[in-house]
Amino acid sequence: MNNQVKDLSWSIVIESGRAEKNYWKDLWRYRELFYILSWRDIKVRYKQTVIGAAWSVIRPLLTTVIFTILFSRIAKLDNPGNAPYALMVFAGMLPWQFFSNALSESSGSLIGNSNLITKVYFPRLIIPASSVITSLVDLGISFVIMLMMFLWFGFTPSWHIIFLPVFVLLAFTCAFGIGLYLTAVNVKYRDFRYIIPFIVQFGLYVSPVGFNSSVVSDKWRMLYSLNPMVGVIDGFRWCLLGDPMHWRSFLVSVAITIVFLLFGIYYFRKMERSFADNI
Amino acid sequence: MPPIIQVSNLSKSYIISHEGRESYTALRDVVSKKAKKIFSFATSSSHTSKEEFWALKDVSFEVEQGDRVGIIGRNGAGKSTLLKILSRITEPTSGSIRIKGRVASLLEVGTGFHPELTGRENIFLNGAILGMGRADIKKHFDAIVDFAEIEKFLDTPVKRYSSGMYMRLAFAVAAHLEPEILIVDEVLAVGDAQFQKKCLGKMEDVSKNEGRTVLFVSHNIGVMKHLCNKGVLLENGMVQFKGDIIPAASAYTDIFSRTDFINYKHIAGGQEIRINKLVINNPDNIEIFGELSISIYYGADESKGKQHDSFHFFLLFYNDSGEVVWSVFQKDTGSYSDNNSQSVHVTLENILAPGRYIVSAGIFDKSNQFIDWVEKVQVFEVLPVFKGGKGFDSRYGMVTSTGNWK
pLDDT digits (tens, 9 = 90+) for A106-115: 988 998 898 8
Backbone angles phi, psi at B362, to 5 degrees: -155, 170
pLDDT value, residue A263: 95
Chain A nearest C-alpha distance from B327 (Å):
35
Residue A15 touches partner B, C-beta closer than 8 Å: yes
Closest CA to B158 of B130, B108, B111, B117: B117
The residue of chain B nearest to residue A30, with distances taken between CA atoms, is B131
- The C-alpha angle A59, A62, A68, rounded to 5 degrees, equals 135
Weakest-pLDDT range from B145-159, B183-197, B348-362: B183-197
How far apart CA B276 and CA B119 sit, in angstroms, is: 51
Helix H or strand E encompassing B298? strand B291-300
Handedness of CA A268, A269, A271, A276 (dihedral sign): positive
Per the prediction, chain B carries an average pLDDT of 82
Residue B281, H or E segment: none
Which of the pair, A29 or A180, is modelled with greater confidence? A180
Quick check: B128 and A119 CB within 8 A? no
Rounded to whole angstroms, the Cα distance separating B244 from B232 reads 8
Name the E strands within chain A.
12-15
Q: Which of B66, B60, B315, B33 is nearest to B211 (CA)?
A: B66
Cβ contacts of B160 within 8 Å, gap of 6 or more: B153
Burial group, residue A191, by CB count within 10 angstroms (0-12, 13-18, 19+)? middle
| Biggest CA pair distance of chain A | 81
Please indicate if any CB of chain B lies within 8 Å of the CB of A11.
yes
Report the DSSP beta bridge partners of residue B316.
Answer: B327, B360
Residues 179-198 of B with CB under 8 A from A: 180
Tens of pLDDT, residues B237-274: 899 889 998 888 888 877 655 544 456 778 888 888 88
Which chain A residues are within 8 Å of B134, Cβ to Cβ?
32
Chain B interface mutation, best of A2, A6, A16, highest count of B Cβ atoms under 10 Å: A16
Q: Which of B30, B84, B107 is closest, CB to CB, to A189? A: B30
| pLDDT-derived band at A1, boundaries 50, 70, 90 | very low
- CB contact under 8 Å between A14 and B99, yes or no, is yes
Q: Is B105's CB within 8 Å of A120's CB?
A: yes
Q: Do B116 and A47 touch (CB under 8 A)?
A: yes
Neighbours of A51 (CB within 10 A): 9
Buried b (16+ CB within 10 A) or exposed e, A165-185: eebbebbbbbbbbbbbbbbbb
Closest residue to B90, CB basis, from A18, A188, A276: A276
Q: Measure the CA–CA gap between B350 and A230, rounded to whole angstroms.
A: 69
Report yes or no: B163 and B182 within 8 Å, Cβ to Cβ. no
Q: For residue range B183-229, what is the model confidence (pLDDT) as tens digits?
A: 888 765 555 667 777 777 777 777 777 778 888 887 667 778 878 88
Predicted confidence (pLDDT) at residue B72 exceeds the cutoff of 60 = yes
* Chain A residue numbers touching B91 (CB-CB < 8 A): 14-18, 273
Instruction: Report yes or no: A187 and A277 within 8 Å, Cβ to Cβ.
Output: no
For B335, the 3-state DSSP assignment is coil
Alpha-carbon distance A214 to nearest alpha carbon in chain B (angstroms): 39
More confident residue, B192 or B10: B10
pLDDT at B30 over 90: no
pLDDT at A48: 64
* Residues linked to residue B185 through DSSP beta bridges, in sequence order: B217
Contact yes or no for A208/A89 (Cβ under 8 A) = no
Would you state the pLDDT for residue B259?
Answer: 43
Instruction: Using a CB–CB cutoff of 8 Å, tell me whether B266 touches chain A.
Output: no
Q: Which residues of chain A neighbour B94 with C-beta distances below 8 Å?
A: 16
The answer to whether A4 contacts chain B (CB < 8 Å) is no
Cβ within 8 Å, pair B105-A8: no
pLDDT at A18: 62
A–B interface: beta-carbon pairs under 8 A: 130
Chain B residues near residue A33 by CB distance under 8 angstroms: 128-129
Verify whether the Cβ–Cβ distance B99 to A189 is below 8 Å: no
A21 phi/psi in degrees, rounded to 5: -65, -25
pTM above 0.95, yes or no: no
In angstroms, rounded to a whole number, what is the distance separating the alpha carbons of residues A24 and B328? 58
| Predicted local distance difference test score (pLDDT) of residue B261 | 46
Range of lowest pLDDT (A17-21, A274-278, B4-8, B291-295): A17-21
Within an 8 Å CB–CB cutoff, is residue B26 touching chain A?
yes
**With an 8 Å Cβ cutoff, is B105 touching chain A?**
yes
Q: Residue B74 in contact with residue A105, Cβ under 8 Å?
A: no
Cα separation, B17 vs A278, in Å, equals 13
DSSP-derived pairing of the beta strands B94-99 and B50-64: unpaired
> Does B111 sit within 8 Å of A120, measured CB to CB?
yes
Average pLDDT over residues B1-26: 74
Strand pairing report for B103-106 and B50-64: unpaired
Q: Find chain B residues with C-beta within 8 A of A116's C-beta.
A: 111-112, 129
Nearest CB neighbour to A8, from listed B93, B100, B107 = B100
Q: Is the pLDDT of residue A255 over 90?
A: yes
B91 and A189: CB-CB below 8 Å?
Answer: no
CA distances from A196 to A107, A190, A210, B23, B364 (A): 8, 12, 21, 22, 54
| pLDDT band at residue B396 using 50, 70 and 90 as cut-offs | confident
Query: Residue B45: what pLDDT?
Result: 46
CA-to-CA separations, B154 to A39, A40, B110, B142, B207, in angstroms, rounded? 19, 17, 16, 11, 29
Q: Residue A70 has what DSSP assignment?
A: I
Which residues, in sequence order, are bridge partners of residue B382? Answer: B355
Residues B193 and B173: their CA atoms lie apart, in Å, by 19
A33/B128 Cβ within 8 A: yes
Q: Do B117 and A44 touch (CB under 8 A)?
A: yes
Pairwise CB contact (< 8 Å): B108 & A15: no
